[in-house]
Chain A
Amino acid sequence: MKKKSKLFINCDEAVIICDKSQYNEATWLDKLKLNLHLLLCGMCKKYSSNNTKLTSLCSKAKLNALSNEQKEVMKKVIETESLKKQ
């Protein structure tokens, strides 16, 4: 049983590894486990292909975001302005 769990993983572990690999943070052992699991599990295979698609959409869209500090500055300005108004 213990030996088995080293290579065969359950779906919860598989999807997490799948997410990690989208950010290039999965080790080669992780990837091996994931691919083995994908051979056996149709649901995870579907999730994996959707997940890859999501990553490519996100990179294609070239999204930008304000950092948290910039947002904090904005919030403060809004707050002081709305106080002035009252």
Chain B
Amino acid sequence: MPKNTLNPSEWVDLYADYLFNYTIGRVNDTEIAQDLVQETFLAALKSADNFRGNASERTWLVSILKRKIIDHYRRSNSAKGQAEVKINFPIGSDESEGDWLEERVADKRRMNIEDSIQNEELGLAIQKCIDKLPKKQADVFTMKTILGMDTEEICNELNITPSNLWVIIHRARTALASCLKSNWF
């Protein structure tokens, strides 16, 4: 089996968005997510010598990112979170609603937790397919669909004509549809 090798110079193009989406699903804050992805790349660079080549680059980076996310929660949980001890004294019949304000607020996330898990898987699946596209198609599709930029803006930035852009978008969408077909259509 050929051993996998690392190409740090291509990490950002190939994996940044995937890792970013992975992180967002777990920390729910774009800025923190961005920092964590950056930290992951740096940590990966530092320990690149330890990469044995058994896993793919992506898997390896995700495993580092997981540690970074756990570290992030450890850090944020250290001082303030532990100082606050909350004890409930349920009185009366209505035991399900606690005394603490947090427990009285409707938890919208819990209502459709299954949906959100599925949506995250879907997101990562789409991102994986996008990463498989040729760079130009991936760029244009991301700018248009995910960042929601105007056609004109993209044309100016990439120096292409609108009809050129639509052909690229068309190719990207066709490729994505067939990439997602087996699991999600």
Residues of A within 8 A of B (CB): 15-16, 19-20, 22-23, 25, 47, 50-51, 53-54, 57-58, 60-68, 70-71, 74-75, 77-79, 81-82, 85
Contact = CB atoms under 8 A, between A and B. Distances in A.
B11 A78 contact: yes
Contact of A64 (B20, B169, B184, B185): B20
Nearest to B151: A25
10 contacts: A16-B166, A22-B173, A60-B122, A61-B119, A64-B33, A64-B146, A65-B20, A65-B21, A68-B157, A78-B45
Interface residues of B, number: 45
Contacts of B30: 64
A70 B34 contact: yes
Nearest to B115: A60
B16 A53 contact: no
A64 B24 CA distance: 8
Nearest to B169: A19
Interface string B129-164: 000000000010010111100010000010000010
B21 A63 contact: yes
Given A16-B170, A19-B166, A66 B177 contact: no
Contact of B8 (A70, A71, A82): A82
Contact of B123 (A62, A70, A79): A62
Interface stretch (B36-44, B69-77, B89-97, B102-110): B36-44
